[in-house]
Amino acid sequence: MTPSATGARYSGPKLTLAEGWQLQRLTAPSRLFGANGLRTGPDGRVYVAQVTGSQISALDLATGEVSVVSAKGGDIIAPDDVAFDADGNLYATEVMDGRVSVRDPRGQTRVLRDDLPCANGITVYQDRLFINECRDGGRLMELDRATGATRILLEDLPSPNAMEVGPDGLLYYPLMTANEIWRIDPEGGEPQRVSADLGVPDAVKFDPQGFIVSTQVASGQVLRIDPRTGDKTLAAQLTPGLDNLTLVDDRVLVSNFTGEITEIDGSGEIRTVLPGGLNWPLDLAVGADGTLYVADGTYFYALGADGSLRTVGMLFTPGYPGFLRGLAPVGQGEFVVATSGGQIGRYRPGDGETDYLADGFDQLYGVAIGPDDTIVFAELGTGRVHALRSGSTEVLASGLQDPVGVAFDADGYPLVAESGAGRVVRLADSTETVLDGLQRPQGIHVTHGTLYVVDAGAKEVVAFDLGTKVRTTIASGLPVGPPPGVEPKPLKGMPPFSGPQGPFAGITAGPAGTLYVSADGDGSVLALRRNGT
Predicted pLDDT at 7: 55
What local confidence, expressed as pLDDT, does residue 431 receive?
94
Does position 519 have pLDDT exceeding 60, yes or no?
A: yes
Amino acid 487 reads E
Region 165-181: what's the mean pLDDT? 97
Residue 6: is its pLDDT beyond 50?
Answer: no
pLDDT score of 352 more than 70: yes
- DSSP structural state of residue 156: E
Q: Which residue has the higher pLDDT, 483 or 17?
A: 17
Confidence of residue 172 (pLDDT cuts 50, 70, 90): very high
Q: What is the mean pLDDT of residues 66-71?
A: 94
Residues 300 and 313: their CA atoms lie apart, in Å, by 5
What is the 3 state secondary structure string of 102-153? EECCCCCEEEEECCCCCEEEEEEECCEEEEEECCEEEEEEEECCCCCCEEEE
| Residue type at position 434 | V
Percent of the chain's residues with pLDDT above 70: 98
pLDDT in the model for residue 497: 82
- 86 in Cβ contact with 71 (< 8 Å): no
Average pLDDT over residues 10-20: 92
Task: Tell me the C-alpha distance between 292 and 309, whole Å.
Answer: 10
Q: Averaged over 305-324, what is the pLDDT?
A: 93
User: What pLDDT does 31 receive?
Assistant: 93
All structural domains of the chain: 32-274 (2.130.10.10), 284-530 (2.120.10.30)
Return mean pLDDT, the chain: 95
- Residue 84 clears pLDDT 60, i.e. is over it: yes
Phi-psi region of 20 (alpha: psi -120 to 50; beta: other; left: phi over 0): left
pLDDT at residue 3, rounded to an integer: 36
Predicted local confidence at residue 466, as pLDDT: 97
Query: Is the Cβ–Cβ distance between 226 and 207 less than 8 Å?
Result: no
pLDDT computed for residue 29 by the predictor: 95
Query: pLDDT (tens digit, 9 = 90+) per residue, 239-283?
Result: 999 999 999 988 999 999 999 999 999 888 999 999 999 999 999
Residue 2 pLDDT more than 80? no
pLDDT digits (tens, 9 = 90+) for 380-429: 999 999 999 988 999 999 999 999 999 999 999 999 999 999 999 999 98
- Pick the residue with more confidence: 289 or 68? 68
| Chain segment 131-166, per-residue pLDDT in tens | 999 999 999 999 999 999 999 999 999 999 999 999
Q: What pLDDT, on the 0 to 100 scale, is given for residue 288?
A: 86
pLDDT score recorded for residue 445: 98
Length of the chain equals 533
